[in-house]
Amino acid sequence: MELDAAIDPQKAAERVGRPLNGHWSIDRLIDVGATAGVYEGRHRDGRRAALKVLHTSVAAVPELRRRFLREAYVANKIDHPGALAILDDGLATDGAPFLVMELLEGESLSRRLAKVGGKIPYGEALGIAGQVLDVLDMAHANGILHRDIKPGNLFLTTVGHAKVLDFGLARIRDGIVSSIPTLSGIVIGTVGYLAPEQARGTPEEVDVRSDLFSVGAVMFRAMVGRPTHEASTQLETLMASMKDPAPSLAVALPGVPEAVVNVIDRALAFDKRDRWRSAREMQVAIRSAYASLGRRPSMHVPMGPGAGADTTEPPPTLREDDAASLFEQIAFGEGHDEAVGRERRRTREVLDAMGKGGREDE
Ligand SMILES: Nc1ncnc2c1ncn2[C@@H]1O[C@H](COP(=O)(O)OP(=O)(O)O)[C@@H](O)[C@H]1O
Ligand SMILES: [Mg+2]
């Protein structure tokens, strides 16, 4: 069994404009990743959703299909609206399994970075990290590790919430690697954010501190404009992550405030014993690093769905002297709990609405 990395993306694109099965049709391709295509889909009853369809060649491995359908649902055990819930699953007519998720409005951090020329202001990066750590804290408390925190798995909604995508799905990546070891460098997707113990492929050493390393690596990338480890091929990058410590943020980005350097450098410590011990601990440090920037998130956070969407024109946070972004406001503003509570109620409504129509006609 061989994965065909070249064929899958093309097949993924060919699904657009066609029915996926008797219930769902595909309107638009959102993104193609290493394991799946993500689309905007429409149910025959008119509902729209994001559909994540496993690539044909991955779907051909029974163990990987089973894992895909089983592991993705761990996201629903995390009681935080920042963990994107899985609403349903199904089978395409051609046999590929897929997941149904809320169709989010906004863009992934990787898209955002590409669009704005590689980096965002550190205030905003800290805001995103603050929100992501809230979600990880909840996940870790439930014994769930993410294992694949990277810009493509962090989604920034138009109203300022950071959503963590693909909980559980890192196991698919691990599964592909172990079923087809020679392809590991090609198929595992983005390697630049893995902790050294993950890069070395020693799963028994992976723990919450591996996720915190990845948060640090994403922040480094978002602030500096390039990853901690860079080489000409994915395999070389992976090898560099195994043996070379990440450079200090102070060296990579001279002039960055010391409090910010300390938070990121400690997350990126090569030896996991030198890292932050928990998501909560790192979040507290980020909060005080943020406070040391002297930026003041407003007391208010945007109200209700759609609110604040107009602030994306022009992009609110592209310069250091801009007002605090929505991400900072939600992460560090007084209205944090209220904003998270409102988002929680909203996502529950989406889940309930989908739950009704989604299953009964399968
Ligand atoms: N529920 C969703 N709503 C909107 N866009 C989504 C949703 N889920 C995923 N995406 C988009 O699809 C991309 C993920 O593609 P994916 O196949 O997971 O690739 P990767 O391996 O790079 O994470 C995300 O970066 C995001 O932009
Ligand atoms: Mg992903």
Question: Mind listing the pLDDT tens digit for each residue in 137-165?
Answer: 999 999 999 999 999 999 999 999 999 99
Q: What is the pLDDT of residue 42?
A: 96
Identify the nearest ligand to the CA of 168 by its number.
2
The residue that leads in pLDDT, 186 or 71, is 71
pLDDT mean across residues, the chain: 86
- pLDDT surpassing 90 at residue 29: yes
- pLDDT surpassing 90 at residue 357: no
Q: What number is the average pLDDT over the span 234-258? A: 92
Give 192's pLDDT tier (boundaries 50, 70, 90). Answer: confident
Question: Mind listing the pLDDT tens digit for each residue in 73-109?
Answer: 999 999 999 999 999 999 999 999 999 999 999 999 9
Could you say which of 88, 148, 174, 211 is catalytic? 148
Identify the nearest ligand to the CA of 38 by its number.
1
Q: What is the pLDDT of residue 152?
A: 94
102 lines ligand 1 (CB under 6 A): yes
- pLDDT surpassing 70 at residue 6: no
Class of domain 9-103 as given by CATH: alpha beta
The residue that leads in pLDDT, 18 or 186, is 18
Q: Is 361 a catalytic residue?
A: no
Distance in angstroms (rounded) separating the CA atoms of residues 271 and 266:
10
Protein residue with least CA distance to atom 25, ligand 1: 152
Distance in angstroms (rounded) separating the CA atoms of residues 218 and 222:
6
Cα 243 to ligand 2 centroid, rounded to whole Å:
26
Q: What is the pTM of this model?
A: 0.89
Q: What is the pLDDT of residue 4?
A: 55
283 lines ligand 1 (CB under 6 A): no
- pLDDT surpassing 50 at residue 200: yes
Compute the half-sphere exposure of residue 25: CA atoms within 13 Å on the CB side of its CA. Answer: 7
- According to CATH, the topology of domain 106-292 is Transferase(Phosphotransferase); domain 1 (1.10.510)
Give 201's pLDDT tier (boundaries 50, 70, 90). Answer: confident
Protein residue with least CA distance to atom 5, ligand 1: 104
Protein residue with least CA distance to atom 16, ligand 1: 33
Q: What is the pLDDT of residue 309?
A: 45
Q: What number is the average pLDDT over the span 12-30? A: 95
Which atom of ligand 1 is least distant from the CA of 102? 1
Q: What is the pLDDT of residue 85?
A: 92
Q: What is the pLDDT of residue 26?
A: 97
Cβ count near 176 (within 10 Å): 24
Q: What number is the average pLDDT over the span 189-199? A: 85
Residues 6+ apart with CB under 8 A from 80: 134, 135, 138, 139, 340, 344
Cα 65 to ligand 2 centroid, rounded to whole Å:
16
189 lines ligand 1 (CB under 6 A): yes
Identify the nearest ligand to the CA of 152 by its number.
1
The residue that leads in pLDDT, 101 or 309, is 101
8 lines ligand 1 (CB under 6 A): no
- pLDDT surpassing 60 at residue 302: no
Determine whether 224 is exposed, middle or buried from the number of CB atoms within 10 Å of its CB (0-12, 13-18, 19+): buried
Q: What number is the average pLDDT over the span 2-16? A: 76
153 lines ligand 1 (CB under 6 A): yes
Question: Mind listing the pLDDT tens digit for each residue in 253-268?
Answer: 998 999 999 999 999 9
Cα 251 to ligand 1 centroid, rounded to whole Å:
32
159 lines ligand 1 (CB under 6 A): no
Provide the residue ranges of all domains of the chain, joining segments of one domain with +: 9-103, 106-292
- pLDDT surpassing 70 at residue 38: yes
- pLDDT surpassing 80 at residue 37: yes
